[in-house]
């Protein structure tokens, strides 16, 4: 690419190099399309740089320290010293390795990489402002465009992020010292994951949530297991409290909340982490120039081929709507590129897993029992408590259960909910079962390795059939 007033062209122009964008770019290269990928900050997007990967690195590291300090029952007595700065440095090395790998993979597949901020300048043109003083800008003409600009943390009114007193999840993952106390605004998956990290590091954590429960996107009995465990870590919950304002106080801050009766409560802490969700980044794209209008929430509506209302413009990842999950965005990126290349590709969302990396973890896929009923099925449910799992007991992590939902008539597996150690890994078996149209009998007839956590999947399925061995049948 020539920087300046020269206009260049490409078959496929992708804006944003997060999971959806870089996967789309690599797939386009594999399909021999001329592809240009524009990224304004760092390859890998939020997920690799400031979200999925760094948070899981810190979760793993804090688990090592916490588990060692709590292993007296195993005959282990330890009091690990934690150097958060060194831990964050280790996390950054992992991030650098992965983002560097993404860049190399893109180049190896013939992707043209352009650094800068892109916005539409016409139906088939974007203007890219290059980062750095005096770097100028360039125009790129395209036949097809894929919008993959991701999302950003939502700011609560009166709680603008300053990186010091009011921090975002991105800020929290880059702290070099463990805060003595922390008010977390929001008990969704981000707030719960990071609250657990800091509680295990010794921080006094208070969560304020305007709704009446933690993890409101999940079923009550699933969320209840995680909340109960979080309370064991010393996390203090306050529900029905909406954060209204804050002020500096005594070297820290005081967060004020208000309930539905107008009553005010105050919570003191060193910092406040605001984690009330994420919003799509579409307001920087000059969408009018290409004839697109986002929804009220800022999303771009798409069809089952990731195509927007403008036929030659596609949207993938967080900008394309819920669920805002990296793996969903990756699949959308593949499909969008394959459609552009003329391949018979389409999206199928019936088996999109979700995971929450709390302690214990949560993994879900497909329908819940109530959703299956609403869809017209006659569901049958099977469960296996982790307290009956030999492997869970040998890990010292026996909270939770595995639950499967199936159609009682045909036996097809419709969904699953797991709250257990390694639930994020275990849920994949159910995802495959749903995708391939497997029945309860298919999974029950599959011999599972003993002793493993995965046996609980088989036992839950057998429980739905009324023939489980290691738990009482319903």
For 210-256, what is each residue's pLDDT tens digit? 999 999 999 999 999 999 999 999 999 999 999 999 999 988 999 99
pLDDT in tens, 372-393: 999 999 999 999 999 999 999 9
- Which CATH entry fits the domain spanning 8-153+279-341: 3.40.50.360, 3.90.340.10, 1.10.3720.10, 3.50.50.60? 3.50.50.60
Q: Annotated catalytic residue: which of 50, 66, 238, 450?
A: 450
Q: At what angle do helices 84-108 and 19-30 cross, to 10 degrees?
A: 30
Q: The pTM is what? A: 0.95
pLDDT in tens, 410-459: 999 999 999 999 999 999 999 999 999 999 999 999 999 999 999 999 99
The pLDDT-based confidence of 209 (bands split at 50, 70, 90) is very high
Q: Model confidence at 3, in pLDDT bands (50, 70, 90)?
A: very low
Residue 300's alpha-carbon distances to 124, 306, 322, 361, in angstroms, are 18, 10, 11, 31
Which of 3-7, 269-273, 381-385 shows the lowest per-residue confidence on average (mean pLDDT)? 3-7
Lowest-confidence pick of 44-53, 130-139, 148-157: 130-139
User: Quick check: do 8-153+279-341 and 166-276 share a fold?
Assistant: yes
| pLDDT for position 417 | 98
Look at residue 50 and tell me whether its pLDDT is greater than 60. yes
pLDDT > 90 in the chain, percent = 96
Q: Which bin fits 410, alpha (ψ -120 to 50), beta or left (φ > 0)?
A: alpha
Give the pLDDT of residue 474.
81
DSSP class of residue 254 equals: E
Give the least confident one: 51-60, 134-143, 168-177, 188-197.
134-143
CATH fold group of domain 166-276: FAD/NAD(P)-binding domain (3.50.50)
The owner of tokens 């991701």 is: 150
| Look-up of token digits 């650094």 | 115
Q: Is the pLDDT of residue 5 over 70?
A: no
Q: Is the predicted pLDDT of residue 106 greater than 60, yes or no?
A: yes
Spans of all domains in the chain = 8-153+279-341, 166-276, 353-465
Parallel, antiparallel, or unpaired: how do β-strands 361-366 and 413-420 relate? antiparallel
- What tokens appear for 24 in the block? 């789309």
| Confidence label for 1 from pLDDT (cuts 50, 70 and 90) | very low
The pLDDT assigned to 131 comes to 72
* pLDDT > 70 fraction of the chain, expressed in percent and rounded: 98
Decide: residue 270, CB within 10 A, 0-12 exposed, 13-18 middle, 19+ buried.
Answer: middle
Integer Cα distance of 220 and 214 in angstroms: 9
Mean pLDDT of 318-327: 96
**CATH class given for the domain over 353-465:** alpha beta
Query: How far is residue 62's CA from residue 310's CA, in Å, rounded to a whole number?
Result: 46
- The reported pLDDT for the residue numbered 424 is 98
Whether 450 is a known active-site residue: answer yes
Residue indicated by tokens 């402002």: 129
**Cα distances (angstroms) measured from residue 328 to each of 132, 279, 300, 382, 401:** 33, 16, 15, 27, 25
The residues with which 159 forms a beta bridge, in sequence order, are: 156
Identify the pLDDT of residue 6.
Answer: 66
Whose tokens are 């036929």? That residue is 311
């Amino acid at each position: 690419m020539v920087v300046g007033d020269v206009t260049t062209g490409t078959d496929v122009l992708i804006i944003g190099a997060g999971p959806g964008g870089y996967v789309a770019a690599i797939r386009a290269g594999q399909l021999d399309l001329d592809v240009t990928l524009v990224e304004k900050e760092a390859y890998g997007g939020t997920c690799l740089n400031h979200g999925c990967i760094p948070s899981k690195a810190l979760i793993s590291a804090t688990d090592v320290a916490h588990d060692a300090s709590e292993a007296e029952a195993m005959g282990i007595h330890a009091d690990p010293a934690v150097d958060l700065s060194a831990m964050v440095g280790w996390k950054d090395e992992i991030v650098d390795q992965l983002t560097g790998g993404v860049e190399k993979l893109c180049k190896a597949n013939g992707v043209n990489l352009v650094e800068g901020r892109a916005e539409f300048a016409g139906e088939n043109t974007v203007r890219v402002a290059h980062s750095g003083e005096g770097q100028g800008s360039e125009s790129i003409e395209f036949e097809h465009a894929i919008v993959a600009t991701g999302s950003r943390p939502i700011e609560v009114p009166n709680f603008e992020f300053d990186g010091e007193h009011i921090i975002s999840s991105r800020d929290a993952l880059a702290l070099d010292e463990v805060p003595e106390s922390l008010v977390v605004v929001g008990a969704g998956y981000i707030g719960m994951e990071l609250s657990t990290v800091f509680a295990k590091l010794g921080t006094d954590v208070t969560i304020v949530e305007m709704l009446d429960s933690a993890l409101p996107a999940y079923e009550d009995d699933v969320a209840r297991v995680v909340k109960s465990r979080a309370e064991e870590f010393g996390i203090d919950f306050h529900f029905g409290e909406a954060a209204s304002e804050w002020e500096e106080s005594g070297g820290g801050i005081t967060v004020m909340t208000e309930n539905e009766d107008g009553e005010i409560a105050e919570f003191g802490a060193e910092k406040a982490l605001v984690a009330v969700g994420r919003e799509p980044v579409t307001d920087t794209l000059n969408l009018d120039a290409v004839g697109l209008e986002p929804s009220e929430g800022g999303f771009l509506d798409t069809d089952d081929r990731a195509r927007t209302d403008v036929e030659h413009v596609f949207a993938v990842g967080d900008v394309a709507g819920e669920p805002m999950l990296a793996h969903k965005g990756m699949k959308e990126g593949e499909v969008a590129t394959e459609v552009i290349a003329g391949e018979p590709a389409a999206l199928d969302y019936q088996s999109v897993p979700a995971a929450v990396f709390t302690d214990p973890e949560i993994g879900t896929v497909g329908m819940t029992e109530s959703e299956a009923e609403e869809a017209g099925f006659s569901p049958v449910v099977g469960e296996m408590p982790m307290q009956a799992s030999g492997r869970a007991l040998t890990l010292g992590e026996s909270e939770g259960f595995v639950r499967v939902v199936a159609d009682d008539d045909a036996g097809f597996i419709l969904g699953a909910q797991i709250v257990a150690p390694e639930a994020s890994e275990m849920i994949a078996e159910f995802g495959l079962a749903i995708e391939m149209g497997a029945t309860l009998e298919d999974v029950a007839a599959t011999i599972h390795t003993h002793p493993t956590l995965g046996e609980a999947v088989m036992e839950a399925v057998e429980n739905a059939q009324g023939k489980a061995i290691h738990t009482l049948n319903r």
